[in-house]
């Protein structure tokens, strides 16, 4: 009898539990294991996916890459471009209950600007001082006008952390981040899972309908997809283009895709070192010939089922900053051979192509090798671990390097550091006084049309002599269960759950 009673009580408990479990959990399969979850120290793309639910930023972007307010309400820049005033949203709370105000914003920005090992420092380099004008207004005093600033604040540099938690945790903040996003941190087991739960006091809580998110890093894309299909995940990011037909054929799955903000390309060494000067650096016509030897359409068709976008600029043809005056070139082997001849090169021209160790880039490299081979390039693929390849590139020990860029909201982020003389990521060693001047000018000019006009001049020049051969733009492929309703994909490929509902 007693035993029965206990059993009944246990059953009751179980029922109680299961009704409490009517909570909705969204399990997301990530392509990599995120790094430290500290907005100041973080540096991976996959980490930003987690941050999108964890830490709100001063500004955000919409479907058309327009900048919209998030924790801020508005911003205003003075005539001379050197003072930016940001009004903050009132009544916003951090996950620890502290109020999000001007003092907190100042503390976060200063942490980004001064903390040891901060990766945000270069992004906020233009900022001289942060002032609290009133509890809901901050003023950023700039060293010089810098038009991409607001765009920087749509990413990690614009994330506001609880000043109290940040001060207490120091550089261990990332182990238990406290921000003002729609979800708060619950736990993390390295390489296994990151768990977040709904933050009831979120400023936009009415539009958050998911109770819990579990992020699971699963590196193998086939396995990630298998988990989604079997129902042990509700969503996966970066599904393979070659798996798209299969996802489309599955009635239980939905797709959300968007072209990436970045690019995939080959950086060629033209002036970084003597190794480079011996090949592509000899004559810009060699790069032009290389460009013409490639059939970008065919590359995306063979390697990515034709789902990715062929490209020739630092933004994709779908981006507002794309210069449609310079369309993607068609393959022209005869012309490529001619150019090589005109450049006085004896073929086959041997080229050392450094390729980071990853199956997709390796396949593209093999296709490029075959294509360029027909024009007279003898490409030697040197697969190198990513960590090593960066070092080799920095020291100029390469002739061509397959290097991608995940892209930034503001085009300056895709251009400046790669093409400005001696800029940190100018691995090609490109240097041109006009381009340098124009790049600086574009940083000052405000309206899109003005900046686009400057970028047109730069694009024109780079297409004939630049050090990056742009190949294609990935489609950011997010697949999710059909039960998820109202999910909207933003151009940066990150996962934002505002407005999304999980049907039972």
The reply on whether position 41 binds other proteins by CB under 8 A is yes
Q: Which of 66, 78, 144, 388 binds other proteins (CB under 8 A)?
A: 388
Residue number, 66 or 191, with CB nearest to other proteins: 191
How far, in Å, CA of 212 to CA of 222, rounded? 25
Q: Which of 25, 35, 317, 461 binds other proteins (CB under 8 A)?
A: 35
129-146 as b/e: b if 16+ CB within 10 A: ebebeeebbbbbebeebb
Residue number, 44 or 83, with CB nearest to other proteins: 44
The reply on whether position 387 binds other proteins by CB under 8 A is yes
Burial tier of 366 (Cβ tally within 10 Å: 0-12, 13-18, 19+)? middle
Using CB under 8 A, which residues numbered 315 to 344 contact other proteins?
none
Q: Smallest distance, Å, CB 370 to other proteins?
A: 5
Give the long-range contacts of residues 387-393, CB within 8 A, separation 24 or more. Answer: 389/354, 389/355, 389/356, 392/354, 393/267, 393/354, 393/427
Total site size for other proteins, rule CB under 8 A: 73
Nearest to 31 by CA among 245, 309, 222: 222
Residue number, 75 or 224, with CB nearest to other proteins: 224
How far, in Å, CA of 283 to CA of 270, rounded? 9
Residue 375: partners with Cβ closer than 8 Å, 6 or more residues away: 289, 290, 292, 293, 333, 336, 337, 340
Helix (H, G, I), strand (E, B), or coil: what is residue 275? helix
**Phi/psi of residue 402, nearest 5 degrees:** -80, 105
How far, in Å, CA of 346 to CA of 344, rounded? 7
Using CB under 8 A, which residues numbered 216 to 275 contact other proteins?
216-223, 225-227, 229-230, 232, 240, 242-243, 245-246
Q: Smallest distance, Å, CB 116 to other proteins?
A: 6
How far, in Å, CA of 302 to CA of 238, rounded? 18
Q: Spell out, one character per residue from 112 to 141, where the chain touches other proteins: x when CB under 8 A holds, - when not.
A: ----xxxx-xx-------------------
The reply on whether position 38 binds other proteins by CB under 8 A is yes
Q: Identify which range of 69-77, 158-166, 270-278, 367-375 contacts other proteins by CB under 8 A.
A: 367-375
Q: Which of 204, 273, 358, 431 binds other proteins (CB under 8 A)?
A: 358
Residue number, 82 or 229, with CB nearest to other proteins: 229
Q: Smallest distance, Å, CB 455 to other proteins?
A: 21
The reply on whether position 384 binds other proteins by CB under 8 A is yes
Using CB under 8 A, which residues numbered 291 to 320 contact other proteins?
298, 301-303
Q: Identify which range of 17-25, 37-45, 78-86, 176-184 contacts other proteins by CB under 8 A.
A: 37-45
How far, in Å, CA of 53 to CA of 414, rounded? 25
Using CB under 8 A, which residues numbered 145 to 164 contact other proteins?
none
Distances (CA, A) of 289 to 292, 332, 351: 5, 9, 13
The reply on whether position 369 binds other proteins by CB under 8 A is yes
Q: Which of 2, 346, 359, 504 binds other proteins (CB under 8 A)?
A: 359
How far, in Å, CA of 292 to CA of 289, rounded? 5
Q: Smallest distance, Å, CB 470 to other proteins?
A: 17
How far, in Å, CA of 25 to CA of 297, rounded? 40
Residue number, 83 or 242, with CB nearest to other proteins: 242
Residue number, 221 or 293, with CB nearest to other proteins: 221
Residue number, 333 or 383, with CB nearest to other proteins: 383
Residue 487 CA, distance from chain mean position: 19
309 sits in the region (left: phi over 0; alpha: psi -120 to 50; else beta) called beta
Q: Spell out, one character per residue from 400 to 429, where the chain touches other proteins: x when CB under 8 A holds, - when not.
A: -----xx-----------------xx----
């Amino acid at each position: 009898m007693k035993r029965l009673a206990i059993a009944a009580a246990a059953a009751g408990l179980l029922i109680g539990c299961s009704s409490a479990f009517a909570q909705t959990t969204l399990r997301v399969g990530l392509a990599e294991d995120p790094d430290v979850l500290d907005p100041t120290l973080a540096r991976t793309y996959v980490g930003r996916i987690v941050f999108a639910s964890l830490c709100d930023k001063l500004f955000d972007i919409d479907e058309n890459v327009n900048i919209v307010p998030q924790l801020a309400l508005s911003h205003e820049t003075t005539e001379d471009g050197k003072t930016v005033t940001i009004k903050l949203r009132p009544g916003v709370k951090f996950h620890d209950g502290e109020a999000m105000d001007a003092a907190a914003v100042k503390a976060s920005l200063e942490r980004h600007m001064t903390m040891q090992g901060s990766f945000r420092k270069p992004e906020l380099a233009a900022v001289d001082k942060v002032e609290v004008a009133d509890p809901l207004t901050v003023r950023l005093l700039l060293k010089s006008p810098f038009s991409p600033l607001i765009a920087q604040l749509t990413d990690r540099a614009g994330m506001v952390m609880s000043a109290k938690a940040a001060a207490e945790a120091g550089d261990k903040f990332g182990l238990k981040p406290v921000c003002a996003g729609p979800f708060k941190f619950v736990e993390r087991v390295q390489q296994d899972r990151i768990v977040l739960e709904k933050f009831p006091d979120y400023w936009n809580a009415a539009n958050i309908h998911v109770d819990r998110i579990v992020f699971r890093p699963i590196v193998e894309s086939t396995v990630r997809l298998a988990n989604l299909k079997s129902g042990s995940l509700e969503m996966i990011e970066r599904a393979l283009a070659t798996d798209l037909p299969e996802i489309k054929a599955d009635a239980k799955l939905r797709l959300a895709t968007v072209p990436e903000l970045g690019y995939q390309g080959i950086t060629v060494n033209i002036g970084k070192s003597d190794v480079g000067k011996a090949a592509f650096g000899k004559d810009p016509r060699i790069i032009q010939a290389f460009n013409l030897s490639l059939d970008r359409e065919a590359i995306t068709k063979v390697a990515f089922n034709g789902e990715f976008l062929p490209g020739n600029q630092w933004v994709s043809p779908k981006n507002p900053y794309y210069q449609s005056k310079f369309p993607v070139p068609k393959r022209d082997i005869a012309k490529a051979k001619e150019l090589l001849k005109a450049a006085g090169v004896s073929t086959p021209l041997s080229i050392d192509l450094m390729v980071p160790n990853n199956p997709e880039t390796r396949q593209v490299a093999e296709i490029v090798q075959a294509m360029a081979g027909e024009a007279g390039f003898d490409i030697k693929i040197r697969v190198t671990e990513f960590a090593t390849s960066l070092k080799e590139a920095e020291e100029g020990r390469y002739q061509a390097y397959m290097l991608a860029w995940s892209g930034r909201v503001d085009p300056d982020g895709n251009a400046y550091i790669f093409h400005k003389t001696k800029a940190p990521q100018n691995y090609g060693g490109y240097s041109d006084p006009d381009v340098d001047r124009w790049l600086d000018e574009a940083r000052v000019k405000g309206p899109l049309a003005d900046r686009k006009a400057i970028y047109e001049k730069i694009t024109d020049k780079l297409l004939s002599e630049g050090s990056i051969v742009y190949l294609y733009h990935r489609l950011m492929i997010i697949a999710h269960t059909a039960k998820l309703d109202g999910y909207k994909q933003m151009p940066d490929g990150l996962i934002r759950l505002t407005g999304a509902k999980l049907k039972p």
